[in-house]
Structure 1
Amino acid sequence: MRLHAPGAGGSLAISLTAPPIGVFLVLRRMSLMGDAMGHAILPGAAIGYLLAGLSLFAMSLGGFAAGLAVALAAGLVARSTVIREDASLAGFYLLSLALGVMLVSVRGSSVDLLHVLFGTVLALDDGALLLIASIATVSMMTLAVIYRPLVMECFDPQFLRSVSPLSSPTHLIFLVLVVLNLVAGFQALGTLMAVGIMLLPAVAARFWAEDVGGMIGVAIASAFASSVVGLLVSYYVNVPTGPAVILACGAFYLLSMLVGVRGGVLWGLMPRRHLEA
């Protein structure tokens, strides 16, 4: 007996590319934006489903278009009204979630709705695996190109704007990467779970590393381990795979919060010397 190879490969590919995106979301204090964007892709995926059924290409293209449209619309509203970007994004995300659920329910069954919301890792085929691997490759190459301005924008965006014209293009490219990786995660984990593998390892990594490179390394390693653990638990205990993977990520986050060497609860309770050399 063996695990479903495309499902395992898809989970590991997502674990390679989504956590670094999550690290930058955490550093830029945009974690909730990632969650909102995960829901924003739902109506686009639902429209693709209505037009072409459970078509990989149609649902992915619709999800990408919807996610990017919501991100740009939220930014435009924030710049042209008194509403802040987080509030604007929250409004669009709630509308998107409700619209997407309604659209899927119009034509599909409850099984189709659960498939869209929670994903089916073990049902991935070779086409889905190829799409996820392609997004992972493009994302890693793009991150390598924009890494320096992206790090600078996380810590001192005003300085980046004053010395370089790359601030706005970097922000836009980063939003595209967020949406792309949510689309990839949606194929395996569904719209409600895709953001989990992006953000939970990134948040947990903050308890183990201080620099950006270290956080990315820890986040990828924990996502890989959580994917393997989740797949094995799902396989042997016969529970849904997506939630099992995200619960494994959550378990590592809770463990990191307790024993992490950089601000963990137990380390904070340990007595410290009054005078240090």
Structure 2
Amino acid sequence: MTLYEFFIDPFAQFAFMRRALAACLALSLACGPVGIFLLLRRMSLMGDALSHALLPGVAVGFLIAGFSLPAMTIGGFIAGLGVVLLAGTAARFTLLREDASFAALQLISMALGVLIVSTKGGNVNLMHILFGSVLAVDDQALLITAAIASLSLLLLVFIYRPLIIDSFDPGYLQRSGSSGMRWQLLFLATVAMDLVAGFQAMGAMMAVGIMMLPAIAARFWAKEIWSLMATSIVLALGSGVFGLLFSFHYRLPSGPAIILTAGMLHLFSMMFAPLGIVRSRLLRHGRHRKG
């Protein structure tokens, strides 16, 4: 098999591969920067908790309208927004920390979502909702994914400056008279929007992978926030492209193939990137010999 046949031919011949590639591009642009902020704010696991929180809303949409993407998208966003508000309220007015609230709501949401889906559909329906299929993205799904991703980017631009301040100096934000909780809730709403956008392509369980794995891997390549975001986007898109190709050529499930590709890029970055293990050990060894 030539390089052209491996890399170009699938996208040149098949419209579903081009739609899948466009969906991966939209998700990379939206999820890459958000994943960096989750990492900076030490909220990496909250993204996973929020992805589980979408399940009841998606399941209710499925129960009402079957495999209607608009219904499941609206249901997922309402459920995610509801969990964000509940966790924020609990953190503000009770002794529970926000992460503890998310952990509790994650378990409840996941169990409730699986229970709702199981009452109407079989394992195939449940697997589709949990793990998605980017190769099955049609024109309607692509438009919805791109629209939600675009809205989340606009919201992130709106909250970018206060979010940066709140991430590094929350005391300054409070002294300036602005509420950190408000920006936190808006940011978590942005995370929920990105997870809803990734739901059709990756499924509720896998969507957080394309958000977090490239962001974590980017930490080994860059230091400044803008370069972290750019690197995360590039790694997410690379994971999408190579995951799609592996899925196409070797008949693998598309969502897990993309996430495993992102995982391999993360492991490679951890070992060989400028801030990775090997380079860091070589630099330390060189300084030790000079000393």
Shift of 1:143: 2.0
CA distance in 2, matches of 1:157, 1:123: 43
- Taking a change above 3 Å as real, the CA distance of residues 234 and 275 of structure 1, as seen in their structure-2 partners, is closer
Which residue of 1 is the match for residue 6 of structure 2?
none
Shift of 1:172: 2.1
CA contact (8 A) 2:209 2:259 kept: yes
- Matches of residues 1-277 of structure 1 in structure 2 within 5 Å? 1-2=13-14, 4=16, 5-165=18-178, 167-262=180-275, 264-270=276-282, 271-274=285-288
Shift of 1:142: 2.3
CA distance in 2, matches of 1:156, 1:181: 26
- Taking a change above 3 Å as real, the CA distance of residues 79 and 144 of structure 1, as seen in their structure-2 partners, is closer
CA distance in 2, matches of 1:76, 1:142: 22
Normalising by the residue count of structure 2, what TM-score does the alignment of the two structures yield?
A: 0.91
Shift of 1:75: 1.9
Letter in 1 for 2:132: G
Give the SS at the match of 1:193: helix
Shift of 1:115: 0.4
Shift of 1:272: 3.4
Letter in 2 for 1:2: F
Give the SS at the match of 1:134: helix
CA distance in 2, matches of 1:37, 1:7: 24
CA distance in 1, matches of 2:172, 2:218: 26
CA contact (8 A) 2:166 2:173 kept: yes
Shift of 1:80: 2.4
CA distance in 1, matches of 2:257, 2:115: 27
- Taking a change above 3 Å as real, the CA distance of residues 168 and 76 of structure 1, as seen in their structure-2 partners, is closer
CA distance in 2, matches of 1:187, 1:167: 32
Shift of 1:267: 2.0
Letter in 2 for 1:269: R
CA distance in 2, matches of 1:144, 1:41: 24
CA distance in 1, matches of 2:78, 2:25: 25
CA distance in 2, matches of 1:273, 1:222: 31
CA contact (8 A) 1:118 1:242 kept: yes
CA distance in 2, matches of 1:54, 1:82: 40
Normalising by the residue count of structure 1, what TM-score does the alignment of the two structures yield?
A: 0.95
State the superposition RMSD in angstroms. Answer: 1.6
CA distance in 1, matches of 2:174, 2:235: 34
CA contact (8 A) 2:274 2:280 kept: no
Q: Flag the structure with higher helix content.
A: 2
Letter in 2 for 1:128: A
CA offsets per residue over residues 27-47 of structure 1, 9 Å max, x none? 000000000000100010000
CA contact (8 A) 2:30 2:152 kept: yes
CA distance in 1, matches of 2:137, 2:155: 25
CA contact (8 A) 1:3 1:235 kept: no
CA contact (8 A) 2:84 2:189 kept: no
CA distance in 1, matches of 2:228, 2:177: 26
CA distance in 2, matches of 1:164, 1:7: 45
CA contact (8 A) 2:152 2:190 kept: yes
Percent identity over the alignment?
Answer: 49
CA distance in 2, matches of 1:257, 1:275: 24
Give the SS at the match of 2:188: helix
CA distance in 1, matches of 2:135, 2:280: 41
